């Protein structure tokens, strides 16, 4: 991995870190199984047949099997009514063997995402998107039951790479409900000084240049150039963008929101795309499911 960069930056190998976390989880699942004869259970709900959603869901189900978490597969047709989907969620809420419920987003247009997510029991909200979990994340001195997986993975990458957050200037690029907003709240909880840059920020470059830590989650291919990065900064690239590449069999390759080759020469740490944040998101989902199960089983 390291050779891909004419570099001074340390490449943060998300794949390797996620694998370490997965083996830690597998050990803990084994202990639960021995001691209580119970294992964590994750219900993964998918509506319709979007190719990208299906591949994410398969990845999550496979990861469960690898660490010994039981996965409950709920596959619903594209035309399913909102009422039927919500009754499915209620059914999963009441199943004692299900400790986590994940509804794969996006949902079809005719379904109100917020209504569905609010119906998931807060004790089983392993995606961390329930308004109560996000609300507690936003408040000082309150602890959410679950943190959203991708933001949690970003901070885990920093801490396992020896990058301290406390007192640092952090800039988050993007303000989505899934990454930008919650990761900015998490950084704030970790005592960083946080700025959020978004599509209406007049001069993103000058703000980003001040950052000790950059979390790029804008969904804009290679938007952040090497010249925008403060020497020695830690760069976590959440972006996954397909760009045309005739040399590849698929006709495209994946790049982040950061210009990797340029950034390598300036940054102190950087995550590659792919192989950075992606594997961590799944590892954090497994971790959340295990934590939810332990709360119930070890009571």
Q: How far from each other are the two terminal CA atoms of the chain, in whole angstroms?
A: 43
Look up 104 and say whether it is catalytic: yes
Beta-bridged to residue 214, according to DSSP, are: 171, 235
Measured distance CA(8)–CA(2) in Å, rounded: 10
Measured distance CA(180)–CA(198) in Å, rounded: 9
Instruction: Write down the catalytic residue from 13, 70, 124, 127.
Output: 127
Give residue 101's Cα distance to chain centre.
16
Measured distance CA(281)–CA(67) in Å, rounded: 15
Q: Which long-range contacts (CB under 8 A, 24 or more apart) does 186-192 make?
A: 186/137, 186/147, 186/151, 186/152, 186/154, 186/155, 187/155, 187/213, 187/215, 189/137, 190/155, 190/165, 190/166, 191/165, 191/166, 191/167, 192/165, 192/166, 192/167, 192/168
CA count, 13 A, side-chain hemisphere, 116:
27
Instruction: Write down the catalytic residue from 60, 70, 136, 168.
Output: 60
CB 17 within 8 A of CB 275: no
Instruction: Write down the catalytic residue from 13, 70, 88, 104.
Output: 104
Q: Is 232 helix (H, G, I), strand (E, B) or coil?
A: coil
Task: For residue 191, report the phi and psi dihedrals to the nearest 5 degrees.
Answer: 70, 30
Measured distance CA(173)–CA(169) in Å, rounded: 13
Which residues, 6+ apart, have CB-to-CB distance to 195 below 8 Å? 169, 170, 171, 172, 207, 210, 211
Look up 19 and say whether it is catalytic: no
Look up 52 and say whether it is catalytic: no
**Residues noted as catalytic:** 60, 104, 127
């Amino acid at each position: 991995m390291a050779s891909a960069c004419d570099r001074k930056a340390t490449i943060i190998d998300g794949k390797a870190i996620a694998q370490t976390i997965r083996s830690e989880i597998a050990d803990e699942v084994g202990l639960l199984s021995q001691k209580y004869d119970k294992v964590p259970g994750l219900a993964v709900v998918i509506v319709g047949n979007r190719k990208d959603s299906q591949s994410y869901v398969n990845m999550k189900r496979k990861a469960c099997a690898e660490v010994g978490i039981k996965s409950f597969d709920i596959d619903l047709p594209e035309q399913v009514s909102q009422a039927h989907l919500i009754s499915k969620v209620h059914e999963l809420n009441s199943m004692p063997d299900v400790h986590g419920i994940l509804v794969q987003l996006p949902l079809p247009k005719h379904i109100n995402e917020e209504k569905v997510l609010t119906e998931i029991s807060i004790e089983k909200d392993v995606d961390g998107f329930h308004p109560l979990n996000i609300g507690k994340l936003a408040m000082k001195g309150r602890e959410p039951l679950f943190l959203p997986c991708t933001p949690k993975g970003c901070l885990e990458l920093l801490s396992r790479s020896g990058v301290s957050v406390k007192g640092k200037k952090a800039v988050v690029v993007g303000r989505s409900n899934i990454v930008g907003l919650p990761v900015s709240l998490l950084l704030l909880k970790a005592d960083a000084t946080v700025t959020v840059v978004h599509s209406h920020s007049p001069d993103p470059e000058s703000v980003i240049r001040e950052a000790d830590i950059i979390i790029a989650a804008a969904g804009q291919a290679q938007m952040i150039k090497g010249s925008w990065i403060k020497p020695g900064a830690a760069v976590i690239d959440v972006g996954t963008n397909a760009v045309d590449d005739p040399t590849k069999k698929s006709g495209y390759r994946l790049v982040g929101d950061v210009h990797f080759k340029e950034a390598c020469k300036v940054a102190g740490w950087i995550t590659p795309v792919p192989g950075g944040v992606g594997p961590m998101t799944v590892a954090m989902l497994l971790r959340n499911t295990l934590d939810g199960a332990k709360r119930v089983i070890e009571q």
